[in-house]
Amino acid sequence: MKNIKEKIIEVKNLKKNFKISKRMNGLPGHIANLFKPKYEVKEAVKGIDFEIYEGECVGFIGANGAGKSTTIKMLSGILYPDSGCINVMGFEPHKDRKKYVANIGVVFGQKSQLSWDLPVIDSFELLKNIYKIPSDVYKKNLDEFMELLDMSNFINQPVRQLSLGQRMRADIAASLLHSPKLVFFDEPTIGLDVVAKEKIREFVRYMNKEKKVTFIFTTHDMQDIAKTCERIIIIDKGSKMYDGSVKELVDKYGGSVKLAIEIKDVLVDEEYIKLLKQSLENQFIDCEFTIEDKKNNIVEIMFENKTLSSVQVTTFLAEKFTLKDFRISDIDIEEIVRKIYEGGITL
């Protein structure tokens, strides 16, 4: 944070509720609802606070229904808050929407802002006129994005003929043609192959570091976060659970090893799991083990690796139990976030 100067987003006590129709099933319920509708109120966002500074690349994540999409829609001006304050570059997004959207970029992985039947370049020209982009700025940005996103081989093709990866690259370029200081990315790599994902991540890293564009990333692909963001905000059930460094989160909760073992010629049941856990904890007194039965005689063992190596554990298991196969992996950001959602890690 030391080198970051300008606060670009400030959110205070942000709240949003939705009224959901509630009625009995069948025709009687439908008729009753016409005359006396009943609703229940769902709290989507429950008074969250955060600040984002110019030049940051922030992962904004949560499980389905956690309130992240609602928050992003309020930040981008699509929804208005029930209470609380949002200040983005001096704008209240839902009040100053016309002026505000001229200063931001938005990419939704499931929706395109490009004209389906027009060549990509024609959509870009249309956006140039909509945003009133000066010709020199437009040409400079277009030339740069063409190279960075490798678009030269499809820039003259109609959007409907593009692959998903090509369309996403074109959409990302379109969102940045007018040189916004802030860009919202909602699932920009969904459905893409490994090569296409990495191309987009490289572009984001370049624009963030070299051009100081601020990015807000919402995604279910934790590799997007791990490879582009230094900071992460996690929300659950409408409340903020974590706001801090990705590295600190991994350092604190990722110093563990996950060992998947396949047991040979033995029925793995609850008693067997207890025996396995007791044997490990008797052998390695200072280490705590978490064991899950993954069925089909596969057991997942997790433990801290600060004083204990995976080699020691697998050697002991191989001597004590009949193993058919095993696999070792470090717990990464995706595993940590999954455990947070499931309540296995308390922040």
In a domain, 151, yes or no: yes
In a domain, 347, yes or no: no
In a domain, 166, yes or no: yes
Query: Which CATH number belongs to the domain containing residue 152 in this structure?
Result: 3.40.50.300
> What is the end-to-end Cα distance of the chain in Å, rounded?
22
The pLDDT, as a whole number, for residue 52 is: 96
Compute the distance between CA of residue 228 and CA of residue 201 in angstroms, rounded to an integer: 6
Strand partners, 46: 15
Do 174 and 286 lie in a common domain? Answer: no
In a domain, 142, yes or no: yes
Do 265 and 247 lie in a common domain? Answer: no
Do 31 and 171 lie in a common domain? Answer: yes
Q: What is the CA radius of gyration of the chain?
A: 25
Do 164 and 265 lie in a common domain? Answer: no
Do 225 and 275 lie in a common domain? Answer: no
Q: Which two tokens stand for residue 271?
A: 């008693």
Contacts of 331 (CB under 8 A, 6+ apart): 253, 254, 256, 257, 258, 302
Do 148 and 233 lie in a common domain? Answer: yes
The pLDDT, as a whole number, for residue 2 is: 46
Q: Which two tokens stand for residue 9?
A: 């987003």
Handedness of CA 254, 257, 263, 268 (dihedral sign): negative
Q: Which two tokens stand for residue 262?
A: 């396949």
Do 108 and 214 lie in a common domain? Answer: yes
Query: Which CATH number belongs to the domain containing residue 297 in this structure?
Result: 3.30.70
Whether the CB-CB separation of 298 and 276 falls below 8 Å is answered with no
Q: Which of 287, 296, 290 is nearest to 325 (CA)?
A: 296
Do 189 and 140 lie in a common domain? Answer: yes
Do 12 and 118 lie in a common domain? Answer: yes
In a domain, 18, yes or no: yes
The pLDDT, as a whole number, for residue 42 is: 87
Compute the distance between CA of residue 76 and CA of residue 278 in angstroms, rounded to an integer: 53
Do 148 and 284 lie in a common domain? Answer: no
Helix (H) or strand (E) holding 136: helix 135-148
Q: Which of the listed residues 251, 279, 307 is the one where a domain comes to its end? A: 251
Whether the CB-CB separation of 299 and 326 falls below 8 Å is answered with no
The pLDDT, as a whole number, for residue 156 is: 96
- Residue 284 belongs to what domain range? 255-331
The pLDDT, as a whole number, for residue 24 is: 66
Collapse the DSSP code of 109 into the 3-class scheme (helix H, G, I; strand E, B; otherwise coil) and give the result: coil
In a domain, 119, yes or no: yes
In a domain, 139, yes or no: yes
Do 45 and 182 lie in a common domain? Answer: yes
In a domain, 165, yes or no: yes
* Amino acid making up residue 10: E
pLDDT in tens, 114-173: 999 999 999 999 999 999 999 999 999 999 999 999 999 999 999 999 999 999 999 999
φ/ψ of 183, rounded to 5, equals -130, 130
Do 80 and 98 lie in a common domain? Answer: yes
pLDDT < 50 stretches in the chain: 1-2, 4
Q: Which of the listed residues 194, 222, 251 is the one where a domain comes to its end? A: 251
Compute the distance between CA of residue 136 and CA of residue 16 in angstroms, rounded to an integer: 42
Q: Which of the listed residues 251, 275, 296 is the one where a domain comes to its end? A: 251
Q: Give me the number of domains the chain comprises.
A: 2
